[in-house]
């Protein structure tokens, strides 16, 4: 008698023979994708059980198998969130049932074993979606890699810690559910990507902003060891001293979870699980959207893990943008020299005088530039510099970049005046300039997109971005040189804003020494 799986395999063979669908056999059942522009594309494949009811605030659970062929031609909703991950984005449809992934593959046969890029979205751990068009893998897949995007839980639903959750956990930990979703997606890739022509032994993880922070956390996490062979971090990382982020410690995070419950008029986790998901997004709930040093997913802060060379020692491609804060610093035009010191400390808390003084602000124009420079280096520049140096010191290959190419953002658009700000490299990395057909892209833009997409996919394939037709990108050794600068042209130079970064480095070293 035929088993149900035998029948499914016959259906796959028939579908492939007739060209009616691009089917693949996963561990839970068969999925049917579609042919799009010469690629096989699968959307909305479950990689974990829906985190509903009693599974809210639990580590991801296995997918229930299904019979027959499951259509995989439509993106699943994003995880519960309020707002969007970047300006100009169309708000995604959301649901608590959201743990799904998407695959773009150029493979014609499962035996091809192509390298795999797994993309982790940004959005401050409060927003984001693996279905966002800017992250679609079509252009990169045509360069010979399998591209995977996925959803992970964000906000309080993804990161809330609570004493009751810690008590019920077999690991005596809570928080970090979103990071565990990321690990579960990588485990799914390890077990299933061969069905899509991918090589489970050649996986690169990559992300931007909170996605890059996630890459740094996964590199530091014992749960992710061996699940990837290369890593890419764009404009993000978590390396600042924990003394500046006490909320990352489990005890503090648990207190915040208790406070959130009380603000919602409940006392217990059971009552929290009974609340509609809509009450657990936005506002105070999003203040809990951060990693937790829980001694399970994260045993220490990433800086400490990397300093003791306990991280995943894989090749790293990392960097940030020349004007990161331009798209993030609200009301920067209102910045005034007379109130700069007080305003900066009000926003960021007590700051050593050295950090304030490193950015001249005697005039209003200087104060506005100081605010942008300070936030650029505080939030992105120093973290990525530290990340590059720590990984290089451990002996792993590191390729460090600085993006200073200004896209042609249209006047009057939400992006007007951004320049090479946060997010701006993404159109080039994914070679998605044509997603904005009315923008006045130049030959220089096209060249930068070709180069960046080429470097990134080469790195996914080999751990080295270099290849035919590309200017040489030297390996970064941890010093002050060998950084690849993407401007109107591409050239090797020194570490950008080094004098400012060294001030942060000195202050942070003192803070770590004091703790």
Tokens at 93, concatenated: 């449809």
Does residue 300 contact residue 214 with C-beta atoms inside 8 Å? no
| Distance from C-alpha of 340 to C-alpha of 343, rounded to nearest angstrom | 5
Dist CA 77 CA 70 (whole Å): 17
Closest listed residue to residue 512, CA positions, set 388, 386, 379: 386
Selected catalytic residue, list 32, 40, 174, 209? 209
Q: What are the helix (H) ranges across 361-480?
A: 364-376, 382-393, 426-429, 443-462
Write the CA distances from 433 to 212, 454, 493, integer angstroms.
Answer: 22, 15, 26
Question: DSSP H helical segments within 147-295, as ranges?
Answer: 155-159, 163-168, 177-192, 210-220, 250-263, 269-274
In this structure, which long-range contacts are made by residues 85-92, counting pairs with CB atoms below 8 Å and at least 24 apart in sequence? Answer: 85/121, 85/122, 85/123, 85/124, 85/127, 85/128, 85/129, 85/132, 86/122, 86/123, 86/327, 86/423, 87/327, 87/414, 87/415, 88/413, 88/414, 88/415, 89/132, 92/129, 92/131, 92/132
Stated as kind and residue range, the H or E segment containing 36 is strand 29-36
The b-or-e profile of 492-506 (16+ CB within 10 A means b, else e) is eeebbbeebbebbee
On whether the CB atoms of residues 289 and 126 are closer than 8 A, the answer is yes
CB-count burial class (<10 Å; 0-12, 13-18, 19+) for 109: exposed
Residue keyed to tokens 């029948």: 7
Cβ-count burial 41-71 (b if 16+ within 10 Å, e if not): bbbbbbbbbbbeeebbbbbbeebeeeeebbe
40 in catalytic set: no
Catalytically annotated residue among 290, 422, 432, 485? 422
422 tagged catalytic: yes
> What are the catalytic residues?
209, 324, 422
């Amino acid at each position: 008698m035929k088993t149900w799986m035998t029948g499914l395999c016959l259906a796959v063979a028939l579908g492939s023979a007739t060209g009616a669908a691009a089917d693949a056999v996963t561990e839970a059942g068969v999925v049917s994708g579609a042919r799009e522009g010469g690629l096989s594309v699968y959307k909305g494949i479950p990689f974990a059980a829906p985190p509903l009811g009693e599974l809210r605030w639990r580590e991801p659970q296995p997918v229930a198998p299904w019979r027959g062929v499951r259509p995989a031609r439509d993106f699943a909703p994003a995880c519960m969130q309020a707002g969007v991950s970047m300006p100009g984005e169309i708000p995604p449809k959301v649901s608590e049932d959201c743990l799904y992934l998407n695959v773009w593959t150029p493979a014609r046969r499962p035996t091809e074993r192509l390298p795999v890029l797994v993309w982790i979205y940004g959005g401050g751990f409060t927003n984001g979606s693996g279905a966002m068009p800017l992250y679609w893998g079509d252009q990169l897949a045509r360069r010979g890699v399998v591209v995977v995007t996925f959803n992970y839980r964000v906000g309080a639903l993804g990161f809330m810690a609570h004493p009751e959750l810690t008590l019920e956990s077999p690991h005596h930990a809570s928080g970090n559910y979103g990071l565990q979703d990321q690990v579960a997606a990588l485990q799914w890739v390890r077990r299933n990507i061969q069905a899509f022509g991918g090589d489970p032994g050649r996986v690169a993880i990559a992300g931007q902003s909170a996605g890059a922070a996630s890459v740094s956390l996964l590199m530091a996490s014992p749960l992710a060891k061996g699940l990837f062979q290369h890593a890419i971090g764009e404009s993000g990382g978590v390396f600042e001293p924990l003394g500046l982020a006490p909320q990352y410690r489990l005890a503090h995070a648990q207190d915040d979870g208790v406070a959130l419950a009380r603000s919602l008029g409940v006392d217990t986790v059971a009552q929290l699980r009974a609340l509609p998901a809509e009450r657990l997004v936005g506002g105070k709930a999003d203040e809990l959207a951060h990693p937790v040093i829980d001694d399970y997913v994260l045993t220490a802060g990433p800086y400490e893990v990397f300093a003791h060379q306990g991280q995943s020692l894989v090749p790293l491609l990392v960097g940030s943008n020349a004007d990161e804060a331009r798209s993030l610093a609200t009301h920067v035009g209102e910045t005034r020299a007379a109130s700069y010191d007080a305003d900066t400390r009000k926003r960021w808390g007590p700051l050593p005088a050295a950090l304030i003084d490193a950015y001249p602000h005697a005039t209003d124009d200087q104060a506005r530039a100081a605010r942008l420079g300070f936030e650029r280096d505080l939030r992105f520049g120093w973290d990525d510099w530290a990340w590059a140096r720590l990984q290089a010191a451990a002996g792993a290959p590191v390729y460090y970049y600085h993006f200073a190419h200004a896209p042609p953002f249209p006047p009057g658009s939400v992006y007007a005046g951004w320049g090479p700000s946060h997010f701006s490299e993404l159109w080039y990395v994914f070679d998605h300039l044509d997603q904005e057909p009315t923008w006045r892209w130049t030959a220089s833009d096209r060249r930068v997109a070709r180069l960046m997409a080429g470097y990134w996919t080469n790195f996914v394939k080999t751990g080295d971005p270099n290849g035919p037709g590309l200017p040489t990108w030297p390996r970064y050794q941890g010093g002050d040189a060998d950084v690849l600068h993407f401007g109107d042209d591409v050239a090797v130079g020194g570490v950008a804003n080094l004098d400012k970064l060294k001030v942060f480095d000195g202050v942070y070293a003192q803070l770590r020494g004091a703790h």
